[in-house]
Amino acid sequence: MAPPSIPAADLASFTTVLQSSTRILALLGAGVSAASGLPTFRGAGGLWRNHDATMLATPEAFEADPVLVWQFYSYRRDMALKAQPNRAHLALAELARKKEGFVTLTQNVDDLSRRAGHPPSQLHLLHGSLFALKCTSFYCTHSESENYSDPLVPALAASFPGPPTVEELPHCPTCTTGLLRPGVVWFGEPLPEQTLTAVDDWIASAPKIDLMLVIGTGARVYPAAAYVDAAKAKGARVAVVNMDRADEPKCSGGLQTGKGGRDWFFEGDAGVIVPEILKSVIGKV
């Protein structure tokens, strides 16, 4: 029986398509992390210590005030580590194990999908990770991933008296002189080419995509919107999970949700909805 928030007819038709699908693409946004209690720092109320959080997410901000930017990102790392993967993360990880033709693209940088056990080969981080680091020195290529030390250095501890100095910020262990920076994609920076190529290759590798899941995102900016269009062009039916019906993706040709449509809009908390709509394949999580 469908939960009260999921129309039984929609669940039944979606289940039929899910069970027969072999190539599935998922796009995740901040709504998935919100179900774990993480703030988005976007839009109204996106402030940290009275700073517009989006203004701290730029190379220019880091160059001008690396101390402030590192304090912000240390706070975000700490918040993400205190959060736990929710049932949506766990359900998607289990779907990846059940269906090898399922690939997830996440716009989130909190590593909750990875910590939920999502198979790495089926997970692409479009915007990088809070727990990746790279050296800012022009001549140094040092980078690392899945560094869950908290704090990274003593001066970034919440209990540290006063703001740290630049010398006390994380420095590169390879060249020893370069500042480390978070391995996230900042505003004005290109998305990781290797990731984009891998996703494009997967899309191009077969003539058909059966199903596209758009979860916790309006998918209205590049490349998110382009991926929905690419999947639709290969025949994919689209299922959207979002708290706000006004956040339906504005893809080419639009979506056909509602009675008699070929697509679906499941309105509600991703942590509740996603495990339910995937249950016929993954069981209970």
What are the residues facing 52 on neighbouring strands?
A: 47
User: How would DSSP label each residue in 118-149?
Assistant: --GGGEEETTEEEEEEEE--TT---EE-----
The two structure tokens encoding residue 235: 């025949």
Instruction: Please say if 127 is a catalytic residue.
Output: yes
Q: Rounded CA gap, 255 and 262, in Å?
A: 8
Q: Rounded CA gap, 128 and 235, in Å?
A: 29
Main-chain dihedrals φ then ψ at residue 203, nearest 5 degrees: -60, -40
Q: Rounded CA gap, 162 and 58, in Å?
A: 24
Region of residue 82 (phi > 0: left; psi between -120 and 50: alpha; otherwise: beta):
alpha
Could you say which of 51, 89, 118, 127 is catalytic? Answer: 127
Dihedral angle of Cα 26, 122, 13, 29, to the nearest 10 degrees = -20
Q: Are 264 and 239 in contact (CB under 8 A)?
A: yes
Catalytic residues: 127
